[in-house]
Amino acid sequence: MSGALLHTFKSRYGDERRLISVDATTLLVEGPSHYTRGSSDDAGAVMADFEGGPFLMRGMTVEQCTDFPMQALIESVRFLPHEKPGHARCELKIKPEPSDKRR
């Protein structure tokens, strides 16, 4: 997947995670993770969790999940296939806040 790298951060276990901007309402979080979990309700995915983090949940801000200073609310989360074994990718659909300035 292509996009602009916004931020890199570490999981609890020191694995690098990347926050990527695909477009104005879509972000990706990806990186090494042998285990992931998620849950959903009738409206779709509620949360996604990488091995060692981050924990991503509908209704939280991007900053709460990734420490990147973006107050956009996460409207949906879903895991996407990753071409590299042992890696995970999660798509976040966000509602941008007027004050958000993409770098």
Q: What is the DSSP string of the chain?
A: ---EEEEEEE-TTS-EEEEEEEETTEEEEEEE-S-EEEEEETTEEEEEEETT--EEETTSBHHHHH--S--PEEEEEEEE--SSTTEEEEEEEEE--TT----
Report pLDDT digits (tens) over 20-47: 999 999 999 999 998 999 998 887 778 9
Looking at the predicted structure, is the pLDDT value of residue 12 above 60? Answer: yes
Q: Which of 15, 86, 6, 91 is nearest to 48 (CA)?
A: 91
Looking at the predicted structure, is the pLDDT value of residue 101 above 70? Answer: no
